[in-house]
A and B are shown apart, each in its own frame.
Chain A
Amino acid sequence: MRFPLWRRGRRNEELSEEMQAHLTLAEREAMEAGQSPKEAHHAARREFGNVGVAEEVTRDAWGWRWIAEMLQDVRYGVRNMLRTPGFTAVTILTLALGIGANTAIFSVVNAVLFRALPYRDAGKLVWATNFVKGQGQNLVFADEYAGYRTQSHVFQSIAAYSAAAEYTLTGNGTPERLRGAMVTESFLNVLGVTPQLGRNFLPEEDRPVGAKAALLSDAVWRVNFAADPKVIGRVIALDDAPYTVIGVLPRDFEFLDNSPADVLVPFQLSDSSIQSSNGQIRVMIQPLSVVARLQAGATIVGTVSELNAINKRVLEGLPSNLKRLLGEAQSQVFLLHDHEVGNVRPALLVLLGAVGFVLLIGCANVANLQLARAAAREREVAIRGALGAGRWRMARLLLAESSTIALAGGVAGLLLAAWVIRLIHRFAPANIPHLQGARLDVSVLVFTLAVSLLTGILFGLAPVLAAFRVSLNNTLKEGGSQSGTSAGTRRAQRTLMVAEIALSFVLFIAAGLLVKSFHQLTAIQPGFDPHGVLTARVALPLDQYQSIDQQRSFFQQLVERLQVLPGVTSAGATATIPLRGNMMMISAIQIEGRPQMDQATMNATTASINAVTPGYFSALRVPLIEGRLLGERDGANAPNTVVVNEAFVRRYFEKEDPIGKRFNAGMGPVTHGPKSWTIVGVIGDTKQQGLASEVMPEATASALQWPRFMMTLVLRTSVDPASLVSAVRKQVSDLDKNLPVYGVQTMDDVLSAEVASQRFNAGALAGFAGLAVLLAAVGIYGVMAYAVSQRTREMGVRIALGAETGNVLRMILGQGLRLAVIGAGLGVVASFGLTRLMSGLLFGVKTSDPETFVLVTAALLIVALAACWIPAWRATRVDPVIALRYE
């Protein structure tokens, strides 16, 4: 019977006892046959043979041999490690840094890129959109969606959704602003998601003018409804309209597009964008996103061609004015997974590559240390070989040793990774989807184990190969003398050192490019002063604030109240805040006194339009270039006035003075507002759509003349902006206690979020590059110090023969520098190839940016020189007398 491994010790004793008993019995019998005790003892021994071998072959019969040998190897390795604690600590720390960084980044990559989306059979899900050349829009219209739904054969199921919806939840304590999405009734079926409570939408709830139903997220259900299961069937007020709660989404449900969904409501989409009501034809363009589940066997290419055919049929059936508006759409279909994570994939893969480099450098370092030690152990290896140890057995012993070290490094790395993952959760930009799933789970642990073992084999291989080359005779013949390192080992060490420099050079370049991009981005002037500004959003429910007079007076009153709050220097309200890109567009801008435009020009004359209260300009410190700003005198009954930005002037008033000119806009949200405006001033360009984007022509109207029901408050404060939040909430609820204040942010936060991903990429890569350079410096130092110690005698001779300090210093530094230059040269070549992969992450910097290359080369050579300095200096201090007596 096989006994458990842990009982081996006792089993070994018993085996010895059994053998001993055999010998005793044989001895006794020989004595009884008349031999002397001494003769009997020897006879029994002779008869028995080698006791040790007999014991060992018997142990083999137990079937634990390979484990036993491995344990022996590991025990031997641990003993060796403990004999040189400093060496072991440096090795384990180096590996821990490399493995820790890899584990942390892998856990992110695993959660974001590798793990399947949290939907049933997610590999079959696709995301479809339409691209219209020239218009640059990526949207599907209701007519096209209806075509897909009824005519396509490639989809098992199809759904449409629109994520950017917001609702005010009232009648349930404090009014709350919920982020939501409109979805077709098929939406949850397509994803394969079942509500944890209640039911999915019914087809009749998804028809135009159907019953209003709502599905709550688990979070809202718990926070706002105390996880009450009786919430099903309850009527809640969203934007003051009654919705029946029909279900609660699963706890782990994640909406698409990395967008939060507190509540889902039926889309109630009609099949056509053209609706006639009260005898009037109205065009309702509702852009939507499409998600679908492919039939078995359907391909992306096949889907694209079918959707294109449907697009064409749909377009032919439309009236001509709508045809022009929609244009001929080119279908684009992506796997849902690619659509969801595609934009963060390059950055994450670059990071994964970077930590891979760090680990390789760590491996090279450890391999170097092991090589140095292998040289010192040549005698041990030779003796073992002479005594009959097979090569394979020797290799196993050395590999077991390095694997043990690597595993220790892996365990330390896991601790480090747990900490780094916490940092990532804290500092990673919000635009990385599914990041919350990044943790040390089983697959990450398996990854770490595999990486550790691979690392152990990788750096353990160098001494193994060195051991294979050991010539028994030469090593043993050298007697007691400490043998010098073989030429092969020296070459291997230098190769590793060059590789380290080249690897860290590439990382350094990548980090340099990203840091420069980040600086380029942050150096962009946003066109306003973002420091010390608080923003908060308020949306008026339209059924209570139906008339524009009500809307106007509400915001007028609110701004007046905010203006006098202590700590507020100026207050205003605006329809859109800079950097957010939620612009309203007008087109067909006809400037008075210019010839009537033709159709093509009409579509091309576009501008964005904003509406602000007069305090906006001083609150954001938007500069006035010419003319005047909008003020209280541009009230409801005054002539309609606007200020335009410089981009507007550049585009439409190349050679003319815009002040006093009038224009009207044929299309856009203003069709129900003022028809014509007079330009009274020119303001500076503000970055409305993000720092990196071009500024579009923009006209800013007065919210007194063109009131909006949804506005963002902007307050310039003389105190910490965050300290005013409750005061703002109080002012709003004093005016209307059912109004929630939401989207509270300082402008600094908005700006910071804008550059968050660039900052994260640059910061992470700079950190890894720093680590890489540090490891490389340690590696260079190690190799040079070892080389110098090996040449102590030579140095002594040189100095005895009259070599100057400077000569010796130059010689050692020159050698180090030569290797560093070779490494940097290889690094340049590798960088040209590899940085191209990250061109998408850069902003305002070319992948071959000469400035970065020159700076990095210089910095790395300085680091290499510094790392060589101490060994070189030590070489000059060699005392010839001692050196010559050395060995």
Chain B
Amino acid sequence: MLGRMSTYVMSSPKERYQNRTEILQGTLDMLILQTLQWGPRHGYALSKAIRTNSGEILKVDTGSLYPALHRLERKGWIAAEWKASEVGPRLRVYRLTKTGRKQLVSERSRWERITAAIAGIMNPGKKESET
């Protein structure tokens, strides 16, 4: 009886996750695309790669990672495929698609613009002397 109700019962913790996803969304998408540029990966490997490459600073929550992966898949930027692994269970491996590659380029330039802008705000003197 209770099990059936999980949808309603759990609505509030779920909302918490969704809020966090929203904040990270734009960046997380870019990070996933960027990481996949170096080759196809399954979900666990992706989260590990992001963590390692950020020097253990960015920890991607599974509750954000998998929705993001499935959303990017739906948009056609990445594609998924089941692959058998030597270690045991079969793995869902994601790879970057052609449109995903284009998307990464535009995301990257957007990100660069934003960081430059933020940098300009944070260091106003330096910016003025440059111009």
Contact = CB atoms under 8 A, between A and B. Distances in A.
B120 interface: no
B107 interface: no
Interface stretch (B31-39, B82-90, B122-130): B82-90
Contact of A2 (B10, B18, B74, B90): B74
B62 A54 contact: yes
Nearest to B43: A22
Given A21-B42, A25-B44, A57 B71 contact: no
A56 B10 contact: yes
Contact of A57 (B2, B21, B82, B91): B21
A652 interface: no
Contacts of B44: 21-22, 25-26
A14 B92 contact: yes
Given A58-B66, A62-B70, A52 B21 contact: no
A821 to B, nearest CB: 45
Interface in B24-61: 42-45, 61
A52 B7 CA distance: 10
Contacts, number: 105
A388 interface: yes
Nearest to B88: A24
Contact of B7 (A61, A63, A69): A69
A393 B11 contact: yes
B89 A20 contact: yes
Contact of A49 (B42, B63, B70, B91): B63
Given A1-B76, A21-B89, A58-B70, A388 B11 contact: yes
B26 to A, nearest CB: 15
B23 interface: no
A63 B71 CA distance: 9
Contacts of B90: 17, 21
A387 interface: yes
Contacts of B66: 15, 18-19, 54-55, 57-58, 61
A836 interface: no
A338 interface: no
B89 A57 contact: no
Contact of B11 (A48, A52, A389): A389
B74 A53 contact: no
Interface string B72-108: 0110100000100101111110000000000000000
B18 A21 contact: no
Interface string A28-41: 10000000000000
A387 B5 contact: yes
A277 to B, nearest CB: 89
A389 B89 contact: no
Contacts of A61: 66-68, 70-71, 74
A72 interface: yes
B58 to A, nearest CB: 14
B93 to A, nearest CB: 10
Contacts of A52: 6, 10
A57 B11 contact: no
Nearest to B64: A57
Contacts of B76: 1
A384 interface: yes
B25 to A, nearest CB: 11
B17 interface: yes
27 contacts: A1-B73, A18-B43, A19-B62, A21-B91, A21-B92, A22-B42, A22-B43, A22-B62, A26-B44, A50-B63, A53-B13, A54-B66, A55-B66, A57-B17, A57-B63, A57-B66, A60-B18, A60-B67, A61-B71, A61-B74, A69-B7, A76-B4, A384-B5, A384-B8, A387-B5, A388-B9, A389-B9
Given A52-B10, A69-B7, A394-B8, 11 more contacts: A17-B92, A18-B91, A22-B42, A50-B63, A53-B14, A57-B17, A57-B66, A61-B67, A61-B70, A384-B5, A387-B8
Task: Give the top 7 A-B pairs by smallest Cβ distance, nearest first.
Answer: A389-B8, A61-B70, A61-B71, A61-B67, A58-B66, A21-B89, A387-B9
